[in-house]
């Protein structure tokens, strides 16, 4: 749910509505919701070289001076991470910081692949629309593959949005075997709700990476990492084609906001009821990596 230049979501544990104040929120609103901003966006900001240059700056040693203030402003719990605040050589290294072993409990079934805010949709078709956001989502455009698009017809889709202050490594949502990751070329538009309000086909035009996860219990799961404004790259750290476990690291995003989209085949998985209910109300639900996003009878939410 967005009001003016704010983003709100439901904290899943407390049930309270929280206002998110992302870095650069005012600039995003200007870029995506004004005539001048859209001209700037289409001629400059979404281009690859701009994201690469910004990524270059965030790799410089001087950028590490930004870390302490960022941690304090967004109340980031650094006790969960291997390296302390003063141990990073650049802001980018801090951005894709690694968790300590055991920092996240991994639930049974389908789990969130990342810390973020989730939306979920059931029974998607080939020309599915985000009724809340007003954006047309075409499966074939998204995958750039007609066979893949038809594979997920009638299935479920979850979208996990990572804000810049979130933990930016991503993990496997279930136990299974991994196929090769395929990169899909695209732009670097923002995935913030402030940007999505402008009705741009962001998810189908951004740079993204697709991986097929074969599971015994849930069929094939499509995992797609979507790049965003000022994200230098999507890095895959898991190169094994062998079996993986739920919660095992898959990769990370370099600097910027980012999104992970999961696709499930028809009849293979039921989304948690609280997430579906919040989505229908037009609001995201905050989840942590390893937290169940599947409907289970004994679920506390």
The residues annotated as belonging to the active site are 115, 171, 258
Helices and strands in the chain, H and E counts: 10, 17
What is d(CA 125, CA 8) in angstroms, rounded to the nearest whole number? 28
Give residue 57's Cα distance to chain centre. Answer: 23
In this structure, are residues 252 and 260 in contact, taking their beta carbons and an 8 Å threshold? no
- According to DSSP, the β-strands at 169-171 and 156-162 are unpaired
The DSSP symbol for 188 reads -
Strands (E), 185-267: 208-215, 219-226, 234-236, 243-244, 249-253, 258-264
* Tally of CB atoms within 10 A around 103: 16
Q: Are 12 and 112 in contact (CB under 8 A)?
A: no
d(CA 260, CA 257): 11
How many Cβ atoms sit within 10 Å of the Cβ of residue 15?
A: 10
**What is the distance in angstroms between the CA of the first residue and the CA of the last residue of the chain?**
20
Q: H/E/C letters for each residue in 54-65?
A: HHHHHHCHHHHH
User: What b/e string do you get for 83-98 counting C-beta neighbours within 10 Å, with b at 16 or more?
Assistant: eebeebebbbbbbbbb
Residue among 14, 219, 259 nearest 110 (CA): 219
Answer yes or no: are the C-beta atoms of 293 and 158 closer than 8 Å.
Answer: yes
């Amino acid at each position: 749910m967005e009001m003016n230049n704010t983003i709100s979501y439901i904290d899943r544990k407390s049930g309270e509505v929280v206002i998110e104040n992302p870095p650069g929120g005012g600039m995003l609103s200007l870029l995506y919701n004004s005539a001048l901003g859209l001209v700037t966006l289409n001629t400059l900001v979404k281009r690859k070289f701009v994201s690469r240059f910004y990524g270059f700056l965030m790799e410089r040693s001087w950028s590490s001076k930004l870390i302490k203030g960022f941690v304090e402003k967004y109340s980031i719990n650094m006790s969960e991470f291997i390296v302390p605040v003063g141990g990073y050589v650049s802001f980018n290294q801090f951005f894709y910081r690694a968790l300590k072993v055991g920092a996240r409990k991994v639930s049974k079934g389908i789990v969130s692949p990342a810390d973020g805010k989730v939306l979920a949709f059931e029974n998607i078709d080939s020309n599915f629309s985000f009724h809340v956001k007003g954006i047309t989502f075409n499966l074939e455009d998204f995958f750039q593959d007609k066979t893949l698009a038809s594979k997920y017809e009638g299935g479920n889709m979850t979208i996990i949005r990572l804000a810049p202050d979130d933990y930016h490594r991503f993990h496997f949502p279930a136990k299974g075997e991994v196929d090769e990751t395929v990169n899909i070329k695209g732009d670097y538009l923002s995935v913030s709700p402030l940007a999505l309000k402008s009705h741009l086909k962001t998810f189908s035009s951004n740079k993204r990476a697709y991986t097929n996860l074969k599971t015994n219990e849930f069929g094939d799961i499509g995992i797609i990492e979507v790049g965003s404004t000022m994200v230098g790259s999507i890095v895959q750290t898991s190169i094994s084609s062998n079996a993986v476990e739920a919660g095992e690291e898959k990769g990370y995003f370099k600097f910027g906001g980012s999104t992970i989209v999961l696709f499930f085949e028809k009849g293979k998985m039921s989304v948690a009821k609280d997430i579906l209910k919040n989505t229908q109300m037009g609001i995201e639900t905050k989840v942590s990596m390893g937290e169940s996003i599947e409907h289970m009878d004994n679920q506390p939410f």
